[in-house]
Chain A
Amino acid sequence: MMQTALHPTPRPASVLREQLRALGLALRAPAAAAAVLAAAMALLITLGIVEEGHRIDFYPELSMLPAIAGFLLPLAVWWGEDRFGPGFLWTLPVDRRRHALTRVCAGWMWLMAGVLCFVLWLLALALLTGGNLVGDQTVRVLPAAMTNVPMALDPAALRTVRWTPDPLLWLVPFTGATGTYLLASALALGVRHPLRWVTGVVLGFFLALGAIEGTKSLGLLKGATRVLNAVFSGPYGIDALLTARTESLHTVATLTSGQTVEVWHALPHTGQWAAATLLWAAAGLAALWAAASRHGERRRG
C-alpha cells in the first residue's frame, strides 16, 4: 500500500469560477472591440435622429448578431489551446471531458452576458429615439393556400393584422446565440481544423448544388430544395432557431397597383420556435458531448 496521502482534486465550482475569470481576461480584447463598434453605431444613430428624425424600434427576435457572435466565440474560447496534443489545459487535475465542458460552459456564460448587454443596448436605443418598445406592428398576411407570391398581387387577397410579438420572443437572441455556440463549440472541440471543415462543408454544399443542377433532374432538384428549405427556413429550421422565423416568413410583393409592400406568409409561432430551439439545442449538446468525449481520459478515437 502507498504511504503517501493523496491530494484532492479541485471542486467543480472552483474550476468553473477560474475558467470564468481566465476567459473573461482572454475575451477583453474582442469585448472592447465590440464596445467601440456599439458606441460608434450609437453615435451614427444619434446623428441620424438629430438630422432626419430616425426612430429605432425594438425587435429582439430580428437581430442575427448574437447568433453570429455565438458561432464565432468558440474560436476565441479555444484560441491557442493545443486541444489534440499535450495542451496546458489537459495537464491540470480535472477530468479532461469535464474540463472541456466546463470551459464551454464558462464561454456560454460570457456569451449570455454579452447578449444581455446587446439587448439592453438595443432597448436603450429604442428608448432614446422614441421607438416602439413592444415591437407591435400592422402586417399584411397572405392567404394560407398561397405558397408562391404572384408577380402582381391583388391587395384584396391580403389580410391586415395587428401583431404583437409574444414576450417569450425576447429570449430569441439568447437561445439563437446558445444554439450556434453549442454547434460551433462541438466543431472547435471535435475536429483538429474547424475552419477547414467549415470551408469544406460550404464548398461541398455549393459543389453538390451545382452538380444537382447539372443533372437537370427536376425530381432531384425539388428534393434538394425541400431539404434545404427544411434545414434553413422550415418550421424547425435554422431560421426558426435564430429569428423565430421572422426572416423567412415575410417577403416583398408587388401589388396590382404597382406598389411594393412587405407581406407575411404567416405570423411567427412561439410553439414552433420553442420546439426548434429544443431540437437544435439537443443536437448541439449531443454533438458537444461527442466532441468532448474525444478528449476523455480514455481514448475514444
Chain B
Amino acid sequence: MSGMIHADAADGGWAVATHGLVKRYGRETALDGVDLRVPEGAVYVLVGANGAGKSTTLKVLMNLERPDGGSATVLGLDTGADGARVRAQTGYVPERHDVGYRWMTCARLIRHVAAYYPSWDSAYAERMVRAFGLPPGRRVGGLSKGEARRLQLVLALAHRPPLLLLDEPTDGLDPVIRNRALSLLAEHLADSPATVVVSTHHVHEMESLADHVGVLDGGRLVAQMPRDELQRTVRRYRVQVPEGWQAPPELRAAGAVRQRAGREVQWTLVGEEGELTQRLSTAGAQVREVTPLTLEAAALAFLPDEGSR
C-alpha cells in the first residue's frame, strides 16, 4: 500500500520533528530516513512490527542512541546538541523493564530521580505510588515486570514533563492495572497538558487518547497523519467484480486485497471514499459496501503482511 506522510509544515509547530533520521546497527538499518512530525499537544501513536524502528526512534529522541544521519528536534531543542535539556522536558518509559538500580528500594529510586528534576511533584508521585499499589520499601531488583513498569510510569509522569515518550507503556501490566494506568495517563494529560509519543503493539488501548498515527515498517515511516484523516481515508470496500477481472494498477497501489471469495473481493483502500468508489466503478467493479475501520485496523493496513490478511 502506498504511504501517506504529512510533514509539510514549518518546524516551529512541531513538538517533535525528525529530518531524514538514519540509524544503523552494523549492516542492519533500523531507521531509514524517518521524518516524524508530532504536533504540540498531540497524542501520537507509533505503530509497527517488532524491529520496525519504534524503540530506536524514541531512543534517538532521548539521545540515548546517536543517529548515523539526519537530525531531530524536541520542543525546538536539537537532541544531539541539547540532550540534557531535551531529557529535562521528557518523561520516558523505556522498552526494557529494568529500572534504575536493582539494589535501591522503590522509594529511594523515586527520591534519586526526583533530585534531577526541579519540577518534581512529590505529592503527585506519592499519589501514583498508592494508585499503582507499588511497595515503596521493596528493592527494585525484586519487582515483577508489571511493578517495574508501574514504577517507570511514576518516574516518567511525576515531573509533569511537556513531552512523554512511552515505549510499550502497558507491556507487562495485568488488565486491571492496565486500565488504571490508561485512566491515570488520561487524567495526567487533563491536568498537565503534554505531547505524547506512544510506541505500542496494542493500538486499541490508545483508541480513546490517540489523535495522530505514524506507521513504521522496516525502518521507514510509511504513513503519518491525524487520526480522523486516517479513519476517513482508510476503509474497507466490499466489491463485486466480473469473472476474470483484474484490478487496474492505480487501485492495486492504493490498497491491498484482504479477502477474495468468488466474484466478491474485500479490499482495504487508502483515499477519499467518493473518488475510490468512482474509480472502482470505472474499472468495472460494483461497490457493495464501504465500512470504516478501527484505529488499529486502519493503522495496520499500511503494513504489508497485515494489509493483505
Which A residues are closer than 8 A to B by beta carbons?
Answer: 1-11, 14-15, 17-18, 21-22, 25-26, 80, 86, 88, 90-96, 98, 297-299
Q: How far is the CB of A7 from chain B (nearest CB, A)?
A: 5
Q: Given A25-B104, A25-B108 in contact, is the A9-B88 Cβ separation under 8 Å?
A: yes
Produce 1/0 per residue, B46-90, CB < 8 A to A. Answer: 000000000000010011111000000001110011111101110
A255 to B11, CA, bound (A): 86
- Residues in chain A near residue B89, CB distance under 8 A: 4, 6-7
A8 to B80, CA, bound (A): 17
Which B residues are closer than 8 A to A by beta carbons?
Answer: 12, 15, 40, 59, 62-66, 75-77, 80-85, 87-89, 92, 94, 99-104, 108, 112-113, 115-119, 159, 161-162, 195
Nearest opposing residue in chain B for A88, CB measure: B100
B interface: dominant SS: loop
| Cβ-defined contact, A88 with B99, below 8 A | yes
A86 to B104, CA, bound (A): 19
| Cβ-defined contact, A93 with B87, below 8 A | yes
| Cβ-defined contact, A93 with B84, below 8 A | yes
- Residues in chain B near residue A91, CB distance under 8 A: 62, 64, 87, 92, 94
Q: How far is the CB of B158 from chain A (nearest CB, A)?
A: 12
Q: Given A2-B15, A25-B104 in contact, is the A298-B88 Cβ separation under 8 Å?
A: no
- Residues in chain B near residue A9, CB distance under 8 A: 84-85, 88
- Residues in chain A near residue B76, CB distance under 8 A: 1-2
Residue in B101, B103, B117 whose CB lies within 8 Å of A93: B117
- Residues in chain A near residue B161, CB distance under 8 A: 7
Q: How far is the CB of A90 from chain B (nearest CB, A)?
A: 6
- Residues in chain B near residue A11, CB distance under 8 A: 118
| Cβ-defined contact, A18 with B116, below 8 A | yes
- Residues in chain A near residue B64, CB distance under 8 A: 86, 90-91
- Residues in chain A near residue B117, CB distance under 8 A: 7, 10, 93
| Cβ-defined contact, B40 with A10, below 8 A | no
